[in-house]
Amino acid sequence: STTEKPILLNNIADAEAFVSRAEVAVIGFFQDPQSPEAEQFGLAAGQVPEVPFGLSSSAAVLSHYGVSANTVALFRTVDNDRRDLDMNNREVDAKKLVRFVRINELRLVTEYDPVTAIGVMQSSVEFNLLLLTDKMSPKHPERMRKFRAAAELYKGKILFILLDSNLKSNERVLSYFQLKKSQLPALAVFHTPDDEHDVLTVDEISIERVQDFCNRFLQ
């Protein structure tokens, strides 16, 4: 994107449109857009190019979102949730801001790694569906397209998670579900409050197969 980041949001309509256009959006609410906190926010925006960053110093916008000045809010559509970070603490810098975004940026399909795992654990959605697969496979783009289409149907009910079997840090998850790499791709559905889970090895992913597996488990 060649647009300057962050985008200035001058009124409530601008801010609402900005949030509604993205799976994950971040707004910095600053009374003084030239403040050191706003400067750190701008630096963080440059380090996370795939997430839109907006900035507002409009009193009406701050009031609409119920925030005080020097607050950063992350909005996500996957579970209609919002996370706030207080920038009045002098120790919050661009690095901490980037980490805040990385932890909380749950998407329709979130790729699992040690950082996103924290956000997944903190989500209010109690059901997780994992696609355990080899990202290097030539079939991966088509699998993802179908998995993502299925994710649309369960927004707010089930978090859809991609787990790449090539990552060493993911071997623990494979062994938890008692799966070997030779058995992949596989689907694993998980209920976080009681660790109840079910596993299905599949030749290929289809929207109908994902739906059937999810619905059976939900029932």
Domain membership of residue 31 as a residue range? 7-104
Q: Are residues 93 and 74 in the same domain?
A: yes
Q: Who's near 203: CB < 8 A, 6+ residues apart?
A: none
| Same domain membership, residue 164 and residue 82 | no
In the prediction, which pLDDT does 5 show?
A: 81
Residue 39 above 60 pLDDT? yes
96 plus 126 within the same structural domain: no
Residue 212 predicted with pLDDT over 60: yes
Looking at the structure of the chain, the number of domains it has is: 2
Judge whether 207 lies within some domain.
yes
pLDDT-derived band at 92, boundaries 50, 70, 90: confident
Confidence of residue 219 (pLDDT cuts 50, 70, 90): very high
pLDDT digits (tens, 9 = 90+) for 95-145: 999 999 999 999 999 999 888 999 998 888 999 999 999 999 999 999 999
Q: Pick the last residue of a domain from 104, 122, 146.
A: 104
Confidence of residue 4 (pLDDT cuts 50, 70, 90): low
Whether 92 is in a domain gets the answer yes
Domain boundary among 104, 139, 167: 104
28 domain-assigned: yes
Mean pLDDT of 15-38: 95
Which residue among 81, 104, 127 closes a domain? 104
The pTM score is 0.84
- 128 & 35 share domain: no
Whether residues 115 and 179 share a domain: the answer is yes
Cα–Cα distance measured from residue 103 to residue 100, given in angstroms and rounded to the nearest whole number: 5
**pLDDT given for residue 78 in this prediction:** 86
Check whether residue 115 and residue 90 sit in a common domain. Answer: no
Tell whether the model's pLDDT for residue 180 goes beyond 60: yes
- 2 in a structural domain: no
| Predicted pLDDT at 35 | 92
Give yes or no for residue 1 having a pLDDT over 60.
no
Is position 171 within any domain?
A: yes
* CATH classification of the domain holding 54: 3.40.30.10
185-213 average pLDDT score: 95
Indicate the pLDDT class of residue 79, thresholds 50, 70 and 90: confident
